Amino acid sequence: MQTQILERMESEVRTYSRSFPTVFTEAKGARLHAEDGNQYIDFLAGAGTLNYGHNHPKLKQALADYIASDGIVHGLDMWSAAKRDYLETLEEVILKPRGLDYKVHLPGPTGTNAVEAAIRLARNAKGRHNIVTFTNGFHGVTMGALATTGNRKFREATGGIPTQGASFMPFDGYMGEGVDTLSYFEKLLGDNSGGLDVPAAVIIETVQGEGGINPAGIPWLQRLEKICRDHDMLLIVDDIQAGCGRTGKFFSFEHAGITPDIVTNSKSLSGFGLPFAHVLMRPELDIWKPGQYNGTFRGFNLAFVTAAAAMRHFWSDDTFERDVQRKGRVVEDRFQKLASFMTEKGHPASERGRGLMRGLDVGDGDMADKITAQAFKNGLIIETSGHSGQVIKCLCPLTITDEDLVGGLDILEQSVKEVFGQA
Ligand code: PLP
C-alpha cells in the first residue's frame, strides 16, 4: 500500500488518517473497502455526514441522472430548477408536517459557515453582540463559530488572536447530578452586576457531538426555550451533527417540542456526503440585505438534488425514524453491557445518547484510543469524542443493516475484551 506521498505532502493538520492509516477505495452502505483488500464496518460515517450510508443507490441515481442531463452544477446563488425542487421538498416533506415556518439562508457549504451566518444574523437582529454557548459545545473553527466552541485545542490555534463575542454557561449535567445549571444562567440574566453582557442569542446542540455525546435533558431544553423567550434572546439550535435523523427525528429538537428561532444543518443535509449547509430562520428574522453575507459556493446544485431525493425517500412518513429509534435501542443495550463489563473489571464506564447518536464513556482518552485502535485492527471504524477523547461514539449510518450493526457491535465487544485480556 503506497502512502508515502500522502504522508509527505499533506499537512500535519490531518487527523482521521492517523486513526485509520489505510487507503480507502470504495464504499457502499456501512462498508468501506481499502486498497490492501481489508474491509471495514463504518461506525463513523463521515462524523455524521453519511446518515444514509455511502453511495445510497436512490441518491446516486438521482445525482447520476442530473449530471447526465447537463443539469446546472454551479450558478452562484442564481435560481435553478434544482434549488426550487429542494426548497419545495424541504417545505412540504420536512417543515409543514412539523408545523415549522422558516426561511432558508444558503451560506457556504460547511457547518462552520452556517454557524457564522446564524450568529451574525442573531446579533444584527437583536443589536447585541453576546452569544451564550455551553461548556463542551462544538460549533466550528472559523473565528465567530470558534468563539462559541469550548475545546482549548481549537481555541489555542488562532495564533494568539482572542476569540470574542461569546459567554459560556454550564451545559446540562456539567455540575453533576441534581444541579440544574440553568438556574445559574437565569440568575446571571437577572443580575445587573453578574458580569454577563445581555445576550442576543443562545446557541446549543441538543446532543453534544464532539463534546462527548452529551444529551441535554428534555425538561432542561424546554426550560432553556422559556428562558430565551422571557429574556428576549434568540434560540439557535445547531443541528449540524444531531440533525437529519441522527437522534431518531429529523430535527433533534423535536424530542423536546421546542421551536428554535434559528437552526443550522450541514453534514448529512445533502444525504450523499456532498458539502452543503443551510440556516433556517423565522421569517421575520430575515433582515439580511442582498449580498450582505455572500460567498462563491452558496448552495450547491448537486447537493440540492441529493438532499431533495433523501428527504422524499426517507422522510415522507415515519417508517424511517421509527427504525432509527429501534436501532438506537440495540446500540444502547450493547453499550450498557460493555459499560457493565468494564466497570466490573475495575474500569468504570457508562453509556449515553439519543437515537443512533450514542457514546460509551470509558473515563479516559488512553483507554478509548486503545479500544478504537483494536477495533480498527478487527475491521471496525469508530472514533472518540469528549474533552479528553474519553467517549467512544457510535455514529453508524442510520440505514445500516441489522447484520452490519450487530457485526460492528460484536467487533467492538471483542476489541474491549482483547484490551482487557479476556478475549
Ligand atoms: N456544529 C456542530 C454541532 C458540529 O458537530 C460541527 C462539526 O463537527 C460543526 C458545527 C462544524 O461543521 P464543519 O466541520 O462542517 O465546519
Could you read off the pLDDT of 145-175 as tens digits, one per residue?
999 999 999 999 999 999 999 999 999 999 9
> Is residue 40 very low, low, confident or very high in pLDDT (cuts 50, 70, 90)?
very high
Interatomic CA distance for residues 322 and 19, integer angstroms: 33
At 422 the pLDDT is 79
Question: Which atom of ligand 1 sits closest to the CA of residue 238?
Answer: 3
Read off the pLDDT of each residue in 402-414 and give the average, rounded to a whole number.
98
Q: What φ, ψ does residue 22 adopt, rounded to 5°? A: -145, 170
Statement: residue 45 has pLDDT above 90: yes
CA distances to 28, 166, 337 from 410, in Å? 20, 43, 12
- Going by alpha carbons, the residue nearest to atom 14 of ligand 1 is 111
Cβ(137) to ligand 1 under 6 A? no
Cβ(268) to ligand 1 under 6 A? no
Q: Which of 49, 154, 205, 241 to mutate to test the pocket of ligand 1 (most atoms within 8 A of CB)?
A: 241
> Is residue 185 very low, low, confident or very high in pLDDT (cuts 50, 70, 90)?
very high
Q: Cβ-count burial of 338 within 10 angstroms (0-12 exposed, 13-18 middle, 19+ buried)?
A: buried
Q: Does the domain spanning 70-313 belong to CATH 3.40.50.970?
A: no
How far away, in angstroms, is 344 Cα from ligand 1 center?
Answer: 36
Q: Please choose, from the candidates 374, 251, 260, 299, the residue with its C-alpha nearest in 3D space to the C-alpha of residue 104.
A: 299
Delimit the CATH 3.40.640.10 region(s) of the chain.
Answer: 70-313
Mean per-residue pLDDT over the chain, rounded: 97
At 141 the pLDDT is 97
Q: Cβ-count burial of 152 within 10 angstroms (0-12 exposed, 13-18 middle, 19+ buried)?
A: exposed
- Angle, CA 103 vertex, CA 135 and CA 114 arms, to 5°: 35
Read off the pLDDT of each residue in 276-303 and give the average, rounded to a whole number.
96
Convert the pLDDT of each residue in 78-96 to its tens digit. Answer: 999 999 999 999 999 999 9
At 14 the pLDDT is 97
Cβ(112) to ligand 1 under 6 A? yes
Cβ(154) to ligand 1 under 6 A? no
Cβ(139) to ligand 1 under 6 A? yes
Read off the pLDDT of each residue in 10-32 and give the average, rounded to a whole number.
97
Question: Which atom of ligand 1 sits closest to the CA of residue 141?
Answer: 16
Cβ(209) to ligand 1 under 6 A? yes
Cβ(361) to ligand 1 under 6 A? no
Question: Which atom of ligand 1 sits closest to the CA of residue 275?
Answer: 15
Statement: residue 397 has pLDDT above 90: yes
Question: Which atom of ligand 1 sits closest to the CA of residue 140?
Answer: 11
Cβ(408) to ligand 1 under 6 A? no
Cβ(238) to ligand 1 under 6 A? yes
Statement: residue 292 has pLDDT above 90: yes
Superfamily of structural domain 1-55+319-418:
Aspartate Aminotransferase, domain 1 (3.90.1150.10)
Question: Which atom of ligand 1 sits closest to the CA of residue 210?
Answer: 5
Question: Which atom of ligand 1 sits closest to the CA of residue 142?
Answer: 16
Statement: residue 423 has pLDDT above 80: no
Read off the pLDDT of each residue in 296-300 and give the average, rounded to a whole number.
94
Out of 233-237, 293-297, 352-356, 415-419, least confident range: 293-297
How far away, in angstroms, is 146 Cα from ligand 1 center?
Answer: 10
Residue 46, all three cell numbers: 463521515
How far away, in angstroms, is 45 Cα from ligand 1 center?
Answer: 14
Interatomic CA distance for residues 410 and 334, integer angstroms: 9
Residue 173, all three cell numbers: 449535567
Cβ(133) to ligand 1 under 6 A? no
- Is residue 180 within 8 A of residue 416, CB to CB? The reply is no
In this structure, is the dihedral angle defined by the CA atoms of residues 74, 79, 81 and 87, taken in order, positive or negative?
positive
How far away, in angstroms, is 111 Cα from ligand 1 center?
Answer: 5
Element (DSSP H or E) covering residue 309: helix 301-315
Interatomic CA distance for residues 344 and 335, integer angstroms: 14
Question: Of all residues in the chain, what percent carry a pLDDT higher than 90?
Answer: 99
Delimit the CATH 3.90.1150.10 region(s) of the chain.
Answer: 1-55+319-418
Cβ(273) to ligand 1 under 6 A? no
Cβ(212) to ligand 1 under 6 A? no
Convert the pLDDT of each residue in 188-238 to its tens digit. Answer: 999 999 999 999 999 999 999 999 999 999 999 999 999 999 999 999 999
> Is residue 1 very low, low, confident or very high in pLDDT (cuts 50, 70, 90)?
confident
